[in-house]
Amino acid sequence: APYYGKKAEKVCNCAECLVFRRDIETGRLRLSNAYFCKVRLCSMCAWRRSLKIASHNKLIVEEANRQYKPSWIFLTLTVKNVEGDDLKQTITDMMQGFR
């Protein structure tokens, strides 16, 4: 299990050392240097990745709003849990309901 040992070590050392610098204009501290492990299941790296994806999504939605002026709909479809054998048909039924 050397592969897992190395990965575990990376996760344990993730964000262990952070270097901050004060922003001249705002006076706020900003992260200027750090080591992040980038292991998919690391909670710190997953949090940072989610911030990055959210930022990209915001830019995409803003551009879509600017170019196409869409009407947005937020829809949540729910059903009771089903057995694995019934999952494909349930998803098909939900997609049909959406259409």
Q: What is the pLDDT of residues 47-94, one digit of tens each?
A: 999 999 999 999 999 999 999 999 998 888 889 999 999 999 999 999
How far lies 79's CA from each of 83, 86, 87, in Å? 12, 12, 11
CA neighbor of 91 nearest in space, from 77, 76, 73: 77
CA neighbor of 44 nearest in space, from 31, 60, 26, 28: 31
- Whether the pTM exceeds 0.85: the reply is no
